[in-house]
C-alpha cells in the first residue's frame, strides 16, 4: 500500500502570507494526487485534482504542483476563510490513501 505523508502537521500564518503544504508518497504515483479542504464540522471539499488542476469554483490563490512522489499545495495569499485542515490523497492504486492532514490556522 502507498503511504502518504504530509508536512507540516499544523501551520500558523498571517493573512496575506504565502502558505505551502507538502505531501510525499511512498512510491511513484505519477500525477494521481488530489487535495481536499475540510472546515470544522463540514464535509471535505475538492480543491485540486490530477496534482495541479484547479477544481471549478476554487479561488485561484490555491495552486497544486508536483509529480512522482513529491507534491505541494500553495496558498498564495492566505485569507481568513482558508482556516481548515488540508488533506492530500493518492488515486494511483488501491487503497486510495490520504495523508494525515495539515491544520492551518491564522496567526
Partner 1 sequence: QVQLVESGGGLVNPGGSLRLSCAASGFTFNDYYMSWIRQAPGKGLEWVSYITSSGRSIYYADSVKGRFTISRDNAKNSLYLQMNSLRAEDTAVYYCARVDVETNGMDVWGQGTTVTVSS
| Candidate list 23, 25, 36, 37; residue touching partner 1; CB under 8 A | 36
Helix (H, G, I), strand (E, B) or coil at 2: coil
Q: What gap in Å lies between CA 79 and CA 53, rounded to an integer?
A: 21
Q: How do strand 33-38 and strand 53-54 relate by DSSP bridges?
A: unpaired
Q: Which is nearer to partner 1, 72 or 98 (CB)?
A: 98
Closest CA to 58 of 82, 39, 40, 42: 82
* Residues between 54 and 73 with contacts to partner 1, criterion CB under 8 A: 55
Stretch that binds partner 1, among 20-28, 59-67, 71-79, 97-105 (CB under 8 A): 97-105
Interface positions with partner 1 (CB under 8 A): 1, 32, 34, 36, 38, 43-46, 49-50, 53, 55, 85, 87, 89, 91, 94-101
Amino acid at each position: 500500500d502507498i503511504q502518504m505523508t504530509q508536512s507540516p502537521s499544523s501551520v500558523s500564518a498571517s493573512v496575506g502570507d504565502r502558505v505551502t503544504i507538502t505531501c510525499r508518497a511512498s512510491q511513484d504515483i505519477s500525477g494521481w494526487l488530489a487535495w481536499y479542504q475540510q472546515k470544522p464540522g463540514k464535509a471535505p471539499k475538492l480543491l485540486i485534482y490530477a496534482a495541479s488542476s484547479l477544481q471549478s469554483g476554487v479561488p485561484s490563490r490555491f495552486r497544486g504542483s508536483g509529480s512522482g512522489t513529491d507534491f505541494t499545495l500553495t496558498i498564495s495569499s492566505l485569507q481568513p476563510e482558508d482556516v481548515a485542515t488540508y488533506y492530500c490523497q493518492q488515486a494511483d492504486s488501491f487503497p486510495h490513501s490520504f495523508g494525515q492532514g495539515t491544520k492551518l490556522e491564522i496567526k
